Chains A and B, each alone.
Chain A
Amino acid sequence: MPADRGADLAADRAHPGRVARFFEAWPPLTLIALAWIALMVIAAFGADLLAPYSFTGLDLRARLSPPVFMGGTWAHPLGSDELGRDVLSRLIMSIRLSLLIAFFGTLIAAALGTAVGFVAAHFRGKVEAVILMLIDFQASVPFLIVALAVLAFFGNNLVLFVLLMGLNSWERYARIARGLTLAANEQGYAAAVRQLGATNVRVYGLHVLPNIASTLIVSMTITFPETILLESGLSFLGLGIQPPLTSLGNMVGYGREYLTRAPWIMLSPAAVIVLTTLSISIVGDWLRDRLDPTLR
């Protein structure tokens, strides 16, 4: 009965089914990205349980053995490196370390930047001028060079390295926080709440921060991959994570020497970097729409 079917189709278009509505709220690409991020988080937390070998364990009889999909055996699913260390085990440990650095780095940058932005917008005048100068300084000097200088001077340890990653891109949060706070203080809701007699803690904590949070969170999803890439870059240059510790960038750096003979050493960490940064960007894009109550 074609007429009936036509009516059904029209009804379908007018009232999308449960599946269609689900995929509108959770687009497939976002779901894949979220799944990948979940996988990374599981790998990071369960690294000790998931890694089949110790990440420093040598297997000299199985040096440079190819991964399964390149004709290798299941003994080393992602192959092994020049010392016979299992690439999968090293990858899992690298994910843990890189995610840790990126997560805390981003958190420090966001907290520092937002606080500095609030201070600038609240006090105005000279304080603001100094902070704006610092922001411009930070934005104009390539951070990689600053990081190189700091690491060269102070030597390298994990805590310093994480703090350094936190200094990267704080100026972006500071700018966002300052700009949005100024707008709110001048005309808008923050001025109105202050006029009601609210304290600064209430104005900034309960009104301004929740209002600018969506912008900040989206900004964090941009900084997060950047921090991973910065860490990778520094480790690749030999200034980041030092052996025997391993990170994604560090693996890519060491794998470079075997690029022609054993590309798999570099391939899997590089793929993880690309997929993770991409996933976080996709999720950030999706979050921006989800967090705005006016779009709901």
Chain B
Amino acid sequence: MTALLEVSDLSRAYEVRRGSWPFGKMATLHAVDGVSFELQAGRTLGLVGESGCGKTTTAKLVLGLVPVTGGEVRIDGESLPAAGTQPWRALRRRMQMVYQDPLGALDRRLSVGRQVMEPLAIHGLGGRLAEHREKAMAMMDAVGLAAHHFDRFPHELSGGQRQRIVLARALILDPQLLVCDEPISALDVSIQAQVVNLLLALQQRLGLAYLFISHDLRMIRQVSHEVAVMYLGRIVEQGDPDRLFAAPAHPYTQALVSAIPTHARQKRRRTVLPGEPPNPVDRPAGCAFHPRCRHAVARCRVETPQLRVLADGRRAACHLVEQIVASAA
């Protein structure tokens, strides 16, 4: 069975000028570099990493909003058409996006109801206006909005309600894949849980697949069937969330997991990484993580590690992963 979403060796590079214009040399920024993953229908893949590691670029590449410079995105085995073309537009019915800033993603001048109905008009679905209205009402009800919200404007609603509108607008087309780019990070903590529970309930009911991007590790753990950890445009570890978070294999994942705040009283060894994440333009040779890694050996500076399948089915990109796992156990 082909996966709903299949991403192989996905890359996106930008030409940037180093230093002050116009004297700098041109350099290449690898925002996303050789990312591969699969996503089955009805499943959730969580994508984590610190800011600037290429999560959002990956999301845009998957949706075809940004042209790829290498690799391929396949939906149900078919290659993604170029952005703006008719087939690409038709494909919008099957893949939709949820944004980090719902107020920015909504048109401030249109009532909520009209915005929820708009995708139907765009794709020429469902005939008359009354039917559109009925459908939009049903969808708004499904995401937990009341009928009286229909004629409101986005700025009159709360953050959680706005995110529900964005969801309703995305779901009215009955898509199979929803790319959620930090859908909860702009919301209050209490609202975050509500929206996440809504997303989980919708997945159950509609069989949606989520590509869920976040820097909130606990949220990712809660929603994902599989997690991929990104560092500087590459996936460094990928696997089952429970195993990955319980016993991270890659040194970077270990540091990430140890940074999750806990309420437990027991003392925990916290791995604090030295230095800042490097500028993606000056990606270190070999393993991009080696300058901050306490296990790094000479080989790490020269040879870029590839994702390898470990004994427990998980995958990690580290030359020393076996030793590290063995020493941790």
Over the window 116-153 of chain B, the binary record of Cβ atoms lying under 8 Å from chain A Cβ atoms (1 yes, 0 no) is 00110011000000000000000000000000000001
Please name all residues of chain A whose beta carbon is closer than 8 Å to the beta carbon of B105 when the two chains form the complex. 188-189, 191-192
* Residues A196 and B92 in contact, CB atoms below 8 Å apart: yes
Task: Answer whether residue A193 sits at the interface, using C-beta atoms and an 8 A cutoff.
Answer: yes
Interface 1/0 per residue, A222-254 and B, CB below 8 Å = 000000000000000000000000000000000
Residue A195 interfacial (CB < 8 Å)? yes
Measured CB to CB, the nearest residue on chain A to B105 is A192
Residue B106 at the chain A interface, CB threshold 8 Å: yes
Q: Is there contact, CB below 8 Å, between A197 and B109? A: no
Contacts of B57-107 to chain A: CB distance below 8 A: 63, 65, 89-90, 92-93, 96-97, 99, 101, 104-107
Interface: B169 (CB within 8 A): yes
Evaluate whether A195 and B118 lie within 8 angstroms (CB atoms) in the complex, with A189-B104, A211-B107 already known.
Answer: no
Would B92 and A195 count as touching, CB distance under 8 A?
A: yes
Least distance between B187 CB and chain A CB atoms (Å) = 17
Count class of interface residues, chain A:
10 to 19
Is B155 interfacial (CB-CB < 8 Å)? yes
Question: Is the contact region of chain A dominated by helix, strand, or loop, or is it mixed?
Answer: helix
B108 at the interface (CB under 8 A from A): yes
B97 touches A195 (CB 8 A): yes
Q: Please give, as numbers and ranges, the residues of chain B lying within 8 Å of A196 by CB-CB distance.
A: 92, 96, 118-119, 122, 169, 173
Q: Inside 8 A of A197's CB, which chain B residues have their CB?
A: 89-90, 92-93, 119, 122-123
Interface centre among B65, B101, B108 (most CB of A within 10 A): B108
Contacts of B101 in A (CB 8 A): 187
> Are B122 and A198 in contact (CB-based, < 8 A)?
yes
Measured CB to CB, the nearest residue on chain B to A186 is B104
Q: How far is the CB of A215 from chain B (nearest CB, A)?
A: 12
Bound together, the chains give a CA A211 to CA B104 distance in angstroms of: 12
Q: Which residue in chain A gives the minimum CB-CB distance to B90? A: A197
Report which B residues bind A (CB closer than 8 A). Answer: 63, 65, 89-90, 92-93, 96-97, 99, 101, 104-110, 118-119, 122-123, 153, 155, 166, 169, 173
Taking Cβ atoms with an 8 Å cutoff, the residues of A that contact B are 187-189, 191-193, 195-199, 202, 207, 210-211, 293-294
8 A-B pairs with the lowest CB-CB distances in the bound complex, closest first: A197-B92, A192-B105, A197-B89, A189-B107, A188-B104, A294-B155, A198-B122, A196-B119
A-B CB contact pairs (8 Å), 23 listed: A188-B104, A192-B99, A192-B166, A193-B118, A193-B122, A195-B63, A195-B65, A196-B118, A196-B169, A197-B90, A197-B93, A197-B119, A197-B122, A197-B123, A198-B118, A198-B122, A199-B89, A207-B110, A211-B109, A293-B108, A293-B109, A293-B153, A294-B155
